[in-house]
């Protein structure tokens, strides 16, 4: 049953997948609670522009993705202050800009090829050693940052004005959090692909919200749900020869449906 | 006269061309139970936000505990109870304990850890408001009155010298309102916590506060009166009690 671990590419796929399954819902819980669920999609489109730019300029594509998504992340934060009554407007503006830029850069690079497709839909089994080092490095930065600033991110998600009133450096922390979100997107792109990256940040959190007993518990359960999705998704893609990114995301959706159904049965009883 | 907790001098603030506060000066004295009243749009909330340092007046100075507000950094001394109904996402999955602990975070410091002593402070604050047994409940599943008690505990946990409240009784039932005022009275009298409450409901506070600041058309009027005399002064100034908030004129 576990002969798939004899292959180097499957070992790397699992390593990358499990790391992503931890950091996506970790950042995702704060993102969802701040009602910024669309931020993942926006930053992943910015990453696509970065990848196209990387291909055009001969740069390693993930560096291009990181640079562009960081610029987009800071852009969202700046615009959010300008349009403080419409938090989601800043996200839509940056989303439009990113798609426009991505399309122009792809056409300039004339690079709508298999390599670009692998970033669009994920290519976890094509993850190479350099990808693993980048994913591991960024994951450590994200984990340590959330460990250090958990309290601050919690307070800002619950009540940003209250956190500011209590004397927290909210503006700086907001920028830092958005940078972490951008890193999470870049890390996840290789695994589930740009088109599905935000689903791993949002769907396990949605499952967890249905049954959690505290904020910490919400994070814990969403990480568990994401881990289950990645493991089942990867196994089924290997055995049934399915696209791994899509299998992972669909598994998370099945889990959500199952949790909803179980909850309904319990309520009926 | 006690020490001044907050002093504002000659402050003005406007939105566009409309001057909400026009050359206003006043102070909050240690031990006050102060009511800030006035009709809708009279600048009550603006004044509160200036006291809290959330907005800067376009003219004038604000001093907090005898320090210029720009340089003030002991925000744990200042508590705030927001308007319950609009203050948070009711679906937020936090427990009562997590919410109350949040106000200790700035004291613990960036990247600091919550220790046993901090947890005891949280329990103590919850005991004061009678919500200790609900410590592990999700805040969104409590009633309006219970949620408000949690927010009082959240304000109390950092051992504040003054607590500001913005329309704190909006959206809660009569019984909860009564016990809210009882709790506030004991915090003010027994613990010496200064209270500042913004409200449009003069009728609710006239028997409870010892000073009233009244905002009308950008100007501030001060009624430095004993509790028992407050209603008489208002009756004289504004006529029939039921129509105070509407016929408010100086």
Distance CA A184, CA A26 (A): 10
Distance CA A115, CA A169 (A): 42
CB atoms within 10 A of CB A21: 27
- Structural Rg of chain A based on CA atoms: 18
CA angle B10, B14, B18 (to 5 degrees): 125
Distance CA B135, CA B146 (A): 11
Average the pLDDT over each of A113-127, A131-145, B34-48, B205-219 and give the range with the smallest value. A113-127
Cβ contact A165–B75 (<8 Å):
yes
Average pLDDT of every residue of chain B: 82
Q: Tokens representing B132? A: 């200790």
B248 phi/psi in degrees, rounded to 5: -55, 105
Q: Does A130 touch chain B (CB under 8 A)?
A: no
B175 exposed, middle or buried (CB, 10 Å; 0-12, 13-18, 19+)? exposed
Q: Record the pTM.
A: 0.84
Q: What's the gap in Å between the CA of A165 and the closest CA on chain B?
A: 7
In this prediction, residue B233 carries a pLDDT of 47
In this prediction, residue B39 carries a pLDDT of 79
A 167-186 residues with CB < 8 A to B? 167-169
Q: Name the band, by pLDDT with cuts 50, 70 and 90, for residue B250.
A: low
User: What one-character DSSP code corresponds to residue A126?
Assistant: G
B 194-233 residues with CB < 8 A to A? none
The CA-to-CA distance between both ends of chain B, in Å, stands at 26
Place of tokens 């800002």: A156
Q: Are strands B78-81 and B162-166 parallel, antiparallel or unpaired?
A: parallel
Q: What's the gap in Å between the CA of A166 and the closest CA on chain B?
A: 6
Average the pLDDT over each of A10-14, A109-113, B190-194 and give the range with the smallest value. A109-113
The Cβ-side half-sphere exposure at A111, using a 13 Å CA radius, reads: 24
Give chain B's length. Answer: 250
pLDDT > 90: what percent of chain A?
45
Q: Does B136 touch chain A (CB under 8 A)?
A: yes
> What does the pLDDT average to over B38-45?
81
- Predicted confidence (pLDDT) at residue B214 exceeds the cutoff of 80: yes
In this prediction, residue A212 carries a pLDDT of 93
In this prediction, residue B179 carries a pLDDT of 85
- Predicted confidence (pLDDT) at residue B158 exceeds the cutoff of 50: yes
Q: Does A154 touch chain B (CB under 8 A)?
A: yes
B199 with B24: CB under 8 angstroms? no
Q: Does A163 touch chain B (CB under 8 A)?
A: yes
> What does the pLDDT average to over A179-192?
87
Per-residue CA distances from B87 to A165, A218, B92 (Å):
13, 21, 12
- Predicted confidence (pLDDT) at residue B247 exceeds the cutoff of 50: no
Q: Name the band, by pLDDT with cuts 50, 70 and 90, for residue B246.
A: very low
B135 phi/psi in degrees, rounded to 5: -50, -40
Cβ contact B98–A215 (<8 Å):
yes
CB atoms within 10 A of CB B68: 10
pLDDT tens, residue by residue, A224-267: 999 999 999 999 988 898 888 889 999 999 999 999 999 999 88
Distance CA A204, CA B34 (A): 48
- Predicted confidence (pLDDT) at residue B237 exceeds the cutoff of 50: no
ipTM for the whole complex: 0.82
Distance CA B211, CA B80 (A): 19
B69 with B53: CB under 8 angstroms? yes
Q: Name the band, by pLDDT with cuts 50, 70 and 90, for residue B161.
A: very high
Distance CA B52, CA B40 (A): 20
Q: What's the gap in Å between the CA of B248 and the closest CA on chain A?
A: 31
In this prediction, residue B84 carries a pLDDT of 59
User: What one-character DSSP code corresponds to residue B243?
Assistant: G
B162 exposed, middle or buried (CB, 10 Å; 0-12, 13-18, 19+)? buried
> What does the pLDDT average to over A182-198?
84
> What does the pLDDT average to over A19-33?
94
Q: What's the gap in Å between the CA of A85 and the closest CA on chain B?
A: 14
Residues on chain A touching B98 (C-beta within 8 angstroms): 154, 214-216
Cβ contact A158–B87 (<8 Å):
no
Closest listed residue to residue B118, CA positions, set B133, B103, B96 = B103
Interacting residues of A258 by C-beta distance below 8 A, sequence separation 6+? none
In this prediction, residue A207 carries a pLDDT of 95
Q: Does A149 touch chain B (CB under 8 A)?
A: yes
Q: What's the gap in Å between the CA of A26 and the closest CA on chain B?
A: 15
> What does the pLDDT average to over A61-88?
85
For every residue of A40-64, DSSP letters joined together read HHHHHHHHHHHHHHHHHHT--HHHH
Distance CA B174, CA A122 (A): 58
B 141-200 residues with CB < 8 A to A? 158
pLDDT tens, residue by residue, B83-141: 755 567 888 999 999 999 998 887 887 777 888 888 999 999 999 999 999 999 999 89
User: What one-character DSSP code corresponds to residue B5?
Assistant: E
Best of B50, B102, B156 to disrupt the A interface (most A CBs within 10 Å) is B102
Distance CA B124, CA B105 (A): 16
Q: Does B99 touch chain A (CB under 8 A)?
A: yes
Distance CA A12, CA A16 (A): 6
Distance CA B238, CA B244 (A): 6
Distance CA B40, CA B24 (A): 18
Best of A158, A207, A210, A220 to disrupt the B interface (most B CBs within 10 Å) is A158
Distance CA A25, CA A20 (A): 9
Cβ contact A169–B94 (<8 Å):
no
DSSP SS3 for B130? coil
Cβ contact B89–A164 (<8 Å):
no
CB-nearest partner of A214 from B53, B95, B158? B95
In this prediction, residue B249 carries a pLDDT of 46
């Amino acid at each position: 049953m576990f002969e798939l671990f004899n292959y180097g590419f499957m070992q790397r796929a699992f390593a990358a997948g499990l790391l992503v399954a931890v950091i996506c819902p970790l950042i995702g819980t704060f993102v969802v609670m701040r009602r910024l669920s669309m931020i993942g999609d926006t930053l992943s489109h910015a990453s696509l522009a970065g990848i196209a730019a990387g291909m055009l300029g001969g740069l390693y594509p993930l560096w291009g993705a990181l640079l562009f998504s960081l610029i987009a992340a800071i852009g969202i934060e700046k615009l959010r202050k300008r349009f403080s009554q419409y938090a989601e407007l800043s996200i839509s503006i940056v989303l439009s800009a990113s798609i426009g830029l991505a399309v122009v850069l792809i056409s300039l690079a004339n690079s709508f090829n298999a390599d670009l497709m692998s970033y669009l839909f994920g290519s976890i089994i094509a993850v190479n050693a350099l990808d693993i080092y980048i994913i591991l490095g960024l994951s450590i930065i994200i984990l340590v940052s959330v460990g250090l600033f958990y309290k601050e991110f919690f307070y800002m998600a619950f009540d940003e004005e209250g956190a500011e009133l209590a004397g927290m450096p909210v503006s700086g922390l907001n920028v830092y959090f958005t940078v972490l979100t951008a890193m999470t997107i870049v890390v996840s792109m290789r695994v589930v692909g740009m088109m599905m990256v935000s689903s791993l940040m949002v769907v396990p959190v949605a499952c967890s919200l249905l049954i959690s007993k505290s904020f910490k518990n919400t994070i814990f359960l969403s990480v568990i749900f994401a881990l289950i999705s990645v493991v089942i998704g990867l196994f089924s893609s290997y055995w049934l020869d399915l696209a791994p990114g899509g299998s992972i995301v669909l598994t998370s959706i099945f889990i959500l449906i199952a949790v909803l159904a179980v909850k309904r049965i319990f309520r009926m009883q | 006269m006690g020490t001044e907790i907050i002093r504002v001098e000659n402050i003005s603030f406007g939105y566009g061309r409309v001057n909400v506060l026009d050359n206003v000066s006043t102070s909050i004295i240690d031990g006050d139970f102060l009511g800030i009243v006035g009709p809708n749009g009279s600048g009550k909330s603006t004044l509160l936000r200036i006291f809290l340092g959330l907005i800067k007046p376009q003219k004038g100075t604000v001093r907090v505990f005898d320090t210029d507000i720009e340089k003030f950094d002991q925000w744990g001394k200042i508590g705030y109870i927001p308007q319950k109904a609009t203050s948070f996402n009711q679906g937020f999955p936090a427990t009562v304990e997590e919410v109350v602990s949040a106000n200790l975070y700035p004291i613990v410091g960036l990247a600091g850890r919550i220790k046993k002593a901090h947890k005891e402070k949280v329990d103590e604050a919850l005991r004061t408001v009678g919500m200790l047994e609900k410590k592990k409940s999700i805040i969104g599943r409590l009633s309006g009155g219970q949620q408000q008690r949690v927010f009082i505990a959240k304000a109390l946990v950092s051992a504040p010298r003054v607590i500001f409240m913005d329309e704190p009784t909006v959206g809660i039932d009569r019984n909860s309102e009564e016990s809210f005022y009882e709790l506030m009275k004991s915090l003010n009298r027994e613990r010496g916590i200064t209270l500042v409450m913004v409200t449009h409901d003069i009728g609710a506070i006239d028997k409870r506060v010892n000073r009233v600041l009244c905002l009308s058309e950008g100007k501030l009027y001060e009624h430095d009166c004993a509790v028992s005399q407050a209603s008489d002064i208002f009756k004289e100034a504004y006529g029939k009690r039921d129509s105070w908030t509407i016929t408010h004129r100086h």
